[in-house]
Structure 1
């Protein structure tokens, strides 16, 4: 009611479990009955699809249908399908990058996706994530450039240069010296004469005739340099013969990098970044997949349509034996702030709106009011003292010991990890420790829960307990990324509530306390 009656845009702090999804649905229905349209921005595409397509208890599609409100989502790669959603639906769900993508495609590429839809109302779910954590984010749209597949020989050459066996410190310095790698690339592409290979007089003559540049790079490319050298008129025949021999050897060298001349300037501008990203790729660890997919660190969702820039993506593909994707260049972009300012009315809901400074920043950026809605019931929540681990084994042992204590008391435990890699590592360690303890105490049934944790790490996996369609039982161990921390509604069976409820362990130190509060909200 506050959102409907307020003259300015409004951000509301509504605690986790207080029905944000239902509040959004209600606001949408009332606005639509007045003939207005709304865009709903969720923190990830998983939640957008869930809220737009699902019947209760996952979503509220039946409620929209009851009031004759059409609803859809734009988390699809099919442009025609997205265009139909914008034109036919009163309420459109999507993550922020999907809305930004379609805006840029519509305005700058003439794809006519938005149709007659204007920027009337937007409701931002998990507004702290969108406006604070990712407030400075930019969405870039890139496009493929013709003949960019010809750069593959360059990428393979750079990869071979950084991925060599190292036998000494000198080898290490040589392999990871950008200048040395860059010189070897230029030498392969253009051919080079080193200063110590010719006399000072010859060097000056080559510079003056623009045969080479200051670095020794050959600027005039010929199959046979005999005529060209004779035109320089050196006083000694020996000098002339030696230079002809040297230039012809360079001209007929074995070349590994095969490029057209129109790419030379482009490569010169990006070469340092290419080399740096080849080194980065060498030390990045995969989550063993047949293709390279970026996983959003904040939400844990797949970003399958995105690529790392400056060819880091291609070097990772070479490293792991994947098919090389085409190189693309950034064309147009828009920031989160710029996009959301396009709307006449901005409404936001979140379990946490941050500190006083963060609230002030939101007010200055978006000219909005902020309110805090009290909980319908007092929180039954206790935060234990944090445990700081000095090394990895102590870290996993602490997680296991804390989990075991709670399982003994008939409680369930949600372990939230920073990355997919950490999910795999912690689940492996917990299972190993549980199997060892089971051998010493085979009659104890608590180890059944510890040795068979429920693992949730990718958005395409179904999180049964997070969709509200199955009650969480006593003695369940869940190990997940932050996918289980935002936008999930874990319902507990009565016996688990009486035992003390769900215990949440955040296994890393987040960038801000709001991420912790979101995770703990699942337990309160």
Structure 2
């Protein structure tokens, strides 16, 4: 571990009894969490106009700019020699301003020669913030991926194993390949962790200086390490087992949780924090198949309100007294599954009701190659090898008439909230973090700092429209696509919330004779090809949230003169951050671009999270479009309610995960 990093850590910060370096996890007292929330939610935003955090970053930019001529005069051998000197200077000064500024100037010069592009001043600004453990909010299109190479090079050069965390395998492989020549100049080995790699291949990648990986793959590798070690989790047991020849291969693939730089940090830290990551093993279907079939058939005969209560906003379903009595009575019939008790039958029926009433095909999941694949709403992508727990996944498979997979038993589990807190040094970057700065500060201890724009934004935003119903909304979307793409020759990106909506719009476009391409969880294999063409003149792309993060749509020839990319949002999401991500695809880095929201008054967001206000407006407006102020009020009420529910779910998930971890620790089973 780097001496510079050790000097920043107190002995009690280091986890004892762990196979490699990671921060000790202590549950903060309630008053500490309250103080952190107060500081990050109220005090820091009040101090933001003073931009105290940016003072060091501005000095780094100024000093680096002054060294440009000097660095440009050095040949490659001299640049490498200067990097070696700065490596020691950064370690001695604990990443001090002067040493980091000189090193950033050197990296900028090397990048210009090796990659053919140089870091902007705004990227140097972000690099300083990231190196010192902040969450940098950079506007979409400002080059977060390239900015990350500055702190990554600095940290890896002084000896810290660096994990650059992205939201999917595609981005991890793409970024690692693109930036590898820059790292190689400094003698740093870089690789990417993707789903297909074996344990041995993963160990080799992690053994390098820099590993690009998705948050899911990284966390599961950590859980597999903990599971593989078992009773040999302590350094002493591990050394005895491996040093004594008891194990042909090391049990772990990771080298420790030293430094993580998380891209699209709000997606990882917030949107995906509600659901714990569970490492599980599949059991043969066995007798479970009979229980699933019985529960599904029985649940189809139950009626909402009479036998069970639906809470779609949670989402949750609960059997009432009548429903529980019906289940109990059914156990006495000949059709009841054998050797199954009342509790197991009640839980199975509840899961069957959820599968029938709460989980819909092409919304929460898709069926691909005869398998149910979960779709992440925040990213629009399929979550490979993920399954709902407690039999829900098998219920959905049975509902779709598929072969049942084996029931899963939990081997290890952890939430992102607990996992990323274990890193000795953590940083993040995203285009949308201000709305959740308080929660990120309270849970992860990361301050959120905004990075100035490289060029002034030329984005144009039309007044949002709210049509009476979905049919009127789709008609308005078709008219806008025709006006922008066919009449003006501009590329158009239409964002939908679900796979089902994207396919419905695709059918309407085809009927209208409008050529287009669709990008959703069913077509993720052609993502790179679709994105590469999306900026061409007159190209129409219909996409779920897959196009909302980590994608850079380059404008085709002559497109900038026509106004650039036009983005149409067809339904507001639970979080305004996700809406901002979609609009951020247009007008990137000073390019022209525009966006508009065309939604419907009967959208799911309004119906579930602002039902009274939505119903009132439908009655009062009688088919007319609401005034912009009324739409703002409706959207604000619905998204605030949805985000409040999600925030409570994340807090409950973290609390439950800590409680289970404490129970397992007490029993000696580890994670």
TM-score, structure 1 length as denominator?
0.74
Q: Give the distance between the partners of 1:301 and 1:286, measured in 2 at CA.
A: 14
**Pair 1:471–1:507, CA change in 2 (3 A):** closer
1:356-409 C-alpha deviation (Å, 9 max, x unpaired) = xx3233233333343211111110101111111221211111111111121212
Q: CA deviation at 1:172?
A: 11
Structure 1 Cα separation of the partners of residues 226 and 430 of structure 2 = 30
Distance 1:364 1:158, change over 3 A: closer
Q: How big is the shift at 1:105?
A: 1.6
Residues 144, 326 of structure 1: 8 Å contact kept: yes
Say whether 1:123 aligns with 2:267: no
Contact 1:128/1:354 (8 A) holds in 2: no
Aligned residue number for residue 270 of structure 2: 132
Preserved contact between residue 502 and residue 544 of structure 2 (Cα < 8 Å):
yes
Cα displacement (A) at 1:170: 9.7
1:23 is aligned to 2:144:
no
Query: Structure 1 residue 86: deviation in Å?
Result: 4.6
Q: 1:158 to 1:181 in 2, by over 3 A?
A: farther
**1:461 counterpart (508, 522, 525):** 525
Structure 1: stretches of 5+ with no match in the other structure: 189-253, 436-449
- Name whichever of 318-327 and 75-84 sits farther off: 75-84
Q: How does 1:106-505 map to 2 (within 5 A)?
A: 106-110=225-229, 114-115=252-253, 117-145=255-283, 149-163=286-300, 178-179=323-324, 181-188=326-333, 257-259=337-339, 264=340, 267-283=341-357, 284-287=359-362, 288-289=367-368, 290-355=370-435, 358-407=436-485, 408-432=487-511, 434-435=512-513, 450=514, 452-458=515-521, 460-464=524-528, 472-505=535-568
Deviation at 1:81, TM superposition (A): 4.1
SS at match of 1:123: strand
Structure 2 contact 207–254 (Cα < 8 Å) conserved: no
Contact 2:162 2:211 in 1 (8 A): yes
Q: Kindly tell me: are residues 113 and 517 of structure 1, through their superposed partners in 2, closer, same or farther at Cα, counting changes over 3 Å?
A: farther
* Distance across 1 between alignment mates of 2:306 and 2:456: 65
In the other structure, the counterpart of 1:217 is none
Matches of 2:443 and 2:294, distance apart in 1: 47
Q: Structure 1 residue 4: deviation in Å?
A: 4.9
- Whether the 8 Å CA contact 2:302–2:323 is kept in 1: the answer is no
Misfit runs of 4+, over 6 Å = 169-173
Query: Is 1:84 the equivalent of 2:203?
Result: yes
Cα distance in 1 for residues equivalent to 2:397 and 2:438: 44
Provide structure 2 residue ranges, at least 5 long, that are not aligned to the other structure: 1-123, 231-249, 310-318, 588-671
Q: Aligned-pair RMSD on alpha carbons?
A: 3.0
CA shift for structure 1 position 351: 1.1
Write the distance in 1 (CA, Å) between the matches of 2:503 and 2:281: 35
SS in 2 for 1:310: coil
Secondary structure of the 2:437 match is: helix
Bigger helix share: 2
Q: 2: distance between equivalents of 1:172 and 1:14?
A: 47
Distance 1:172 1:108 in 2: 39
Of 277-286 and 407-416, more deviation after overlay is shown by 277-286
Q: Which residue of 2 aligns with 1:513?
A: 576
Q: Which has the higher contact order (CA 8 A, sep 6+)?
A: 1
How do 1:42-57 and structure 2 match up within 5 A?
Answer: 42-52=166-176, 54=177
Do the aligned residues in 1 keep the contact of 2:164 with 2:211 (CA within 8 Å)? yes
Q: Distance in 1 between matches of 2:354 and 2:208?
A: 44
Task: Report the CA distance between 1:347 and its aligned residue.
Answer: 1.4
C-alpha displacement at 1:334, in angstroms? 1.4
2:220 pairs with one of 88, 92, 101: 101
The 2-side partners of 1:274 and 1:109 are apart by 32
> Is 1:64–1:71's contact at 8 Å kept on the other side of the alignment?
yes
Aligned match of 1:39:
163
Partners of 2:216 and 2:155 in 1: CA distance: 24
CA contact (8 A) 1:178 1:275 kept: no
Distance 1:334 1:165, change over 3 A: closer
Q: Based on CA coordinates, which of the two structures has the bigger radius of gyration?
A: 1
Change (3 A) 1:464 1:101: closer
TM superposition score normalised by structure 2: 0.58
Deviations 1:225-244 (A, max 9, x none): xxxxxxxxxxxxxxxxxxxx
What is the CA distance between 1:300 and its match in structure 2?
1.3
1:404–1:86 distance in 2 versus 1, CA, 3 Å: same
**Offset at residue 160 of structure 1 (A):** 2.1
| Alignment partners' CA distance in 2, 1:141 and 1:131 | 19
